[in-house]
Amino acid sequence: MNLKGRSFLTLKDYSASEIEYLVDLAAELKEKKKQGITGESLKGKNIALIFEKPSTRTRCAFTIGCVDEGGHPEYLSRDDIQLGHKESVEDTARVLGRMFDGIEFRGFSQDTVEKLAKYSGVPVWNGLTDTYHPTQILADFLTLKEQFGKLKGLKLVYVGDGRNNMANSLMIGAAKLGIHFTILAPKSLWPEQSLVETCTLYTQDSGSLIEISDAYDALEGADAVYTDVWCSMGEEDLAAERIKILKPYQVNEALLAKTEKDNTIFLHCLPAVKGNEVTEEIFERFADVVFDQAENRMHTIKAVMVATLGNQ
């Protein structure tokens, strides 16, 4: 499959077969790395890593993924360049596009990453915005495939803040790949209706079911229960309010029991605030899966770079 020159901004832009290709390529690259085999598909490539928001997994994954394939990553924090401050995003994009072969952006506005892709002329990869987090979803899907041997037909329930970038991106990816997806959240934190309608259109091809609910019976039959922090970066002032309304949606023993399955797994994109969205006990029980999920950020991000920029 030829994805050369493509940006990776949201899973809306990728077909089911293209998403599956990236997950499978990541699995292949992961197996090679375990055998000590790295590649040269990014040899001679210079990659800009722009971080408005700090990161552990995203920064490390892009850096190691790039180096493993022979490329050179250059970290650029919001203090290192003039992105949107003394220089417009459009002009910064045109400068970086003449110096770098690919650009990763992790920050606040989806509009910024869209402009970088439009004006730079090189592949741009979304490492996270307030709206979408597509590289995380690839890691989640690789983890699910490792656990269950398939994706289509699984039931995934996301619990907590149902209108954040993780809920949005999981819904898009699940709807395209035939994963039955439920958001369990208080009504005040349900996703935008327009996105639900878009994802419902995707299900016409995939056969997946999308459900938005505030009732615990939505957990029945879940193969995986997923949660995220209750306050995303930049929303710290809302912490007290979020804790109050989301406490009933904490992933704990009682909530997990409502799946009525003994092989349900727990997923978290990290970092976790244990005692808020998940109890210490549940987190530690599924720690091996959660940290597989974290490691898989590296393999899936490497797959995106190799597929869209690499010389294969």
Q: Which member of 133, 242, 268, 299 is catalytic?
A: 133
Is 297 flagged in the annotation as binding? Answer: yes
Is 72 flagged in the annotation as binding? Answer: no
**211 exposed, middle or buried (CB, 10 Å; 0-12, 13-18, 19+)?**
middle
- State the DSSP string of 199-233: HHHHHHHH---EEEESSGGGGTT-SEEEE--SS-T
Active site residue 242: no
Is 136 flagged in the annotation as binding? Answer: yes
Lookup result for tokens 């294969």: 312
Q: Which of 278, 286, 231 is nearest to 255 (CA)?
A: 278
Is 88 flagged in the annotation as binding? Answer: no
97 with 75: CB under 8 angstroms? no
- Residues 6+ positions from 85 with CB-CB distance below 8 Å: none
Is 56 flagged in the annotation as binding? Answer: yes
Active site residue 106: yes
Is 82 flagged in the annotation as binding? Answer: yes
Q: Which member of 228, 231, 242, 293 is catalytic?
A: 228
The dihedrals phi and psi of 87, each to the nearest 5 degrees, come to -135, 140
Active site residue 101: no
Number of Cβ within 10 Å of residue 44's Cβ equals 10
| Identity of residue 1 | M
Q: Which member of 136, 199, 242, 268 is catalytic?
A: 136
Is 233 flagged in the annotation as binding? Answer: yes
The dihedrals phi and psi of 85, each to the nearest 5 degrees, come to -105, -90
Active site residue 163: no
37 with 54: CB under 8 angstroms? no
Q: Which member of 106, 180, 268, 299 is catalytic?
A: 106
Is 208 flagged in the annotation as binding? Answer: no
Sheet holding 46-51, edge to edge: 72-77, 46-51, 102-106, 124-128
Q: Which member of 180, 242, 297, 299 is catalytic?
A: 297
* Length of the chain (residues): 312
Active site residue 297: yes
The dihedrals phi and psi of 146, each to the nearest 5 degrees, come to -65, -35
**Residues facing 104 on adjacent strands:** 49, 125
State the Rg of the chain over Cα: 19
Q: Which member of 66, 199, 231, 269 is catalytic?
A: 269
Is 106 flagged in the annotation as binding? Answer: yes
Active site residue 60: no
Lookup result for tokens 């995986």: 224
Binding residues for carbamoyl phosphate: 55-58, 82, 106, 133-136, 269-270, 297
Q: Which residues are annotated as a binding site for L-ornithine?
A: 165, 228, 232-233
Active site residues: 106, 133, 136, 228, 269, 297
Bind-site residues = 55-58, 82, 106, 133-136, 165, 228, 232-233, 269-270, 297
